[in-house]
């Protein structure tokens, strides 16, 4: 059983989306987090962009967690167990991966830590379900067919919810939110 999995999902769903934040400056991450809270967005992901080297993401997560405790802050673009370990140690409340990496998912599930792996295909959805996961990141949703693809997935996977990202913007976010199998939207457009 993953600790806080249902709580994290409920917080994501009640937020106005998950803001994708790309900064390596802790002070800037805190300012962004406070601005998002003022706009009613209570979830954000700090994107790791350089998985092999230090990029400041750890410090950004730590700074937001300490300075803005009401913000649900997660780590994104997690591509390996070692990167997941760093993000968890920094204070991330959840992990988002861009793709489905069984080793990373196994590590997070083994630590009972909330993970939302990126998926593209029914095969990847079923692999995630084998780990007991029912909420997944669908990326890049627009390229995959947008709401039509989501509707197609709802038939064989009625119990699965998606965090949709990749082509979601202020103009189409509500269209995605209206899909029954969408937990929430995610994108950098929420930071503007």
Active site residues: 45, 137
d(CA 125, CA 132): 11
SS3 of 62, please? helix
Sign of the CA dihedral with 43 first, then 141, 171, and 157 last: negative
C-alpha dist (Å) from residue 113 to 77, 95, 104: 16, 8, 11
The conformational region for residue 42 under phi > 0 = left, psi -120 to 50 = alpha, else beta, is alpha
């Amino acid at each position: 059983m993953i600790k806080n999995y249902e709580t994290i999902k409920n917080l994501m769903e009640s937020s106005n989306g998950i803001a994708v934040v790309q900064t390596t400056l802790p002070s800037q991450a805190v300012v962004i987090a406070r601005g998002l809270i003022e706009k009613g967005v209570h979830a954000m992901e700090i994107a790791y962009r350089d998985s092999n080297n230090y990029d400041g993401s750890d410090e950004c997560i730590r700074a937001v967690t300490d300075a803005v405790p009401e913000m649900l802050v997660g780590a994104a673009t997690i591509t390996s167990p070692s990167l997941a370990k760093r993000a968890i140690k920094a204070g991330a409340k959840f992990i988002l991966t861009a793709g489905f990496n069984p080793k990373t998912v196994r590590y997070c599930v083994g630590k009972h830590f909330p993970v939302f792996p990126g998926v593209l295909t029914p095969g990847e959805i079923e692999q995630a379900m084998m780990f007991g996961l029912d909420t997944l990141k669908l990326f890049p949703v627009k390229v995959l067919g947008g709401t039509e693809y989501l509707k197609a997935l709802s038939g064989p996977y009625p119990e699965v919810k998606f965090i949709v990202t990749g082509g979601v913007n202020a103009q189409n976010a509500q269209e995605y939110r209206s899909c029954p199998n969408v937990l929430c939207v995610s994108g950098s457009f929420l930071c503007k």
